[in-house]
Amino acid sequence: MKKIVYILTCVLLFSACENFYLENQLGYEPTIEDVRNFAYTLTEADYASIASNPTNVATALSMGSFENDSSVYVRLQNLKTDKYFADTLIAPELFIPAFMTARYPNLSEGTICEVTYRITADMPIYFSEFQTIRSVKDPKVPYTSVDEIIPALDTLVDNRMKKEGYKYVVNFSDEVTYVYQYVDSTFALFQSEMINVIALSNNDYKAIGTTKIVDPQTILNTYLLNRFPYASVDAKYGVIYKNDKGSNAFGEFNYDGSKWIMLSTITDETMSFEVKNTWKANTSTYLSEPFLGHGQGKFVIQNVTLQDPLTYVWYYSSSYGMCASAYKDNASWDSEAWLVSPVIKLKKARNPQLIFDQAFNKAPNFTEEATVLVSTDYKGDVTTCTWEALEWNKYEDGTLNVPPGTSWVFQTTGNLDLSKYKGKSIYIGFRYTTSGGISGTWEIKNVLVYEPETEE
């Protein structure tokens, strides 16, 4: 019996020694799972890192039209100074994965990161008409009549510079500057039904005290306030000016009642990246916000009606996600409060769908209090834009797939169809309304806008 025990002891010791040898002498490392769901915003320094990443450099060089064509590589290097994605060839989904691999090399399969980066904004269609603006210098300035300008332009502008659609800025006098366009083989005053366009004159630059506008938002806001002191709210002007490089630039300015706001040509965009063997862009996901562990994310809360003593309706719960309730001091109060998503860009979408988990309790009238809506023209105020309600899914018996109002159990909405909005930028609003002394509690989590996988 002792021999058997002795033999078993030796076997166990040998096994333990073997495991120790494998783990410590042969470089053996136990598998450690590190799966995360987090968000990251690119810093200014990150754009230089993306441009310098060896994998990205090789990718850019391989994308040339010819063997020695480095134009894509040059555009990639522009990221270092631009600090935003300005070229369709330098797509975030193509060049961010290598950066993520270098930054987070040890995260495990299934990790998801919502990366926010700067990119050229989707601008009104007429912006493309102002990509090239040329100044025409004429020793005969000032002109005595507008009729003199077109013959002068025909003479002064080299035939190689007469390009269809190009804009030409002409000083009629020190006080007045005209904008001409070359269309149908001739020059004509620029006119647009979409926007009024003005160009700074010589005297405008003298009044400003510079010939280069380094900070157009600040300087041109003051200029427009002085030029249009009685402008109506939502008035809009396009302004041609000399930028910090001395080149002609174009900006759209909108009046909000107190100041002129320049439409930004750069915007923030968010894309989901996932570890699948290596980092890859999840281009089928347009919005992913679990709320749990994230707070309210980039969603914003707007209160339209809060009956006293309410001070808020929507709030974040680390256990349940985003919650809405108009119940306070043992009573229900009238309210209207919104939870609005960040912009969701569906310009490349084919069949976008919205799905999320929700619970509703303490009231039987879910559809009267809870609504999910979509807007394509939201600009920060839920009361001044157009909203369209989404229809809830139905079960086979025709009843709505919505919470009964008697349970805290979460249930999925199923896919809510957003395909009518493909090609557009949208906002999703979760509207909570109560009246008549009845209010339930609405809880939301795991909001996802995505493309369902299609069967081959």
Tens digit of each residue's pLDDT (9 = 90 or more) over 180-231 = 888 888 888 888 878 899 999 999 999 999 989 999 999 999 999 999 999 9
Same domain, 91 and 211: no
- Reply yes or no on whether the pLDDT at 143 is more than 80: no
In-domain check, residue 294: yes
In-domain check, residue 62: yes
Residue 454's pLDDT is what?
A: 63
Same domain, 63 and 106: yes
Residue 21's pLDDT is what?
A: 42
- pLDDT tens per residue across span 241-270: 999 888 899 999 999 999 999 998 888 888
Same domain, 43 and 104: yes
Same domain, 15 and 72: no
Higher pLDDT, 225 or 455: 225
- pLDDT tens per residue across span 65-77: 544 455 888 889 9
Residue 70's pLDDT is what?
A: 57
Model confidence at 5, pLDDT cuts 50, 70, 90, reads very low
Residue 374's pLDDT is what?
A: 98
Residue 140's pLDDT is what?
A: 59
Residue 13's pLDDT is what?
A: 46
User: What is the domain extent for residue 439?
Assistant: 285-450
pTM over 0.75: no
In-domain check, residue 455: no
| Of 15-19, 316-320, 451-455, minimum mean pLDDT range | 15-19
Model confidence at 139, pLDDT cuts 50, 70, 90, reads low
Percent of the chain with pLDDT over 70: 89
Residue 180's pLDDT is what?
A: 86
Residue 319's pLDDT is what?
A: 92
Same domain, 291 and 417: yes
- Reply yes or no on whether the pLDDT at 6 is more than 60: no
Same domain, 440 and 305: yes
What is the rounded average pLDDT of the residues 354-374? 95
Percent of the chain with pLDDT over 90: 55
- Reply yes or no on whether the pLDDT at 16 is more than 80: no
Q: Which of 262, 296, 320 is the last residue of a domain?
A: 262
Higher pLDDT, 51 or 171: 51
Same domain, 219 and 274: no
What is the rounded average pLDDT of the residues 385-411? 94
Q: Which of 194, 227, 262 is the last residue of a domain?
A: 262
Q: What is the mean pLDDT of the chain?
A: 86
In-domain check, residue 456: no
Q: Which of 279, 306, 330 is the last residue of a domain?
A: 279
Residue 431's pLDDT is what?
A: 98
Q: Count of domains in the chain? A: 4
What is the rounded average pLDDT of the residues 62-66? 68
In-domain check, residue 106: yes
Same domain, 353 and 405: yes
| Of 142-146, 171-175, 358-362, minimum mean pLDDT range | 142-146
Residue 31's pLDDT is what?
A: 54
Same domain, 444 and 300: yes
Residue 166's pLDDT is what?
A: 82
Backbone angles phi, psi at 391, to 5 degrees: -85, 135
Same domain, 294 and 178: no
Higher pLDDT, 287 or 158: 287
Identify the CATH number of the domain in which residue 379 sits: 2.60.120.260
Same domain, 295 and 427: yes
Same domain, 154 and 208: yes
Residue 153's pLDDT is what?
A: 80
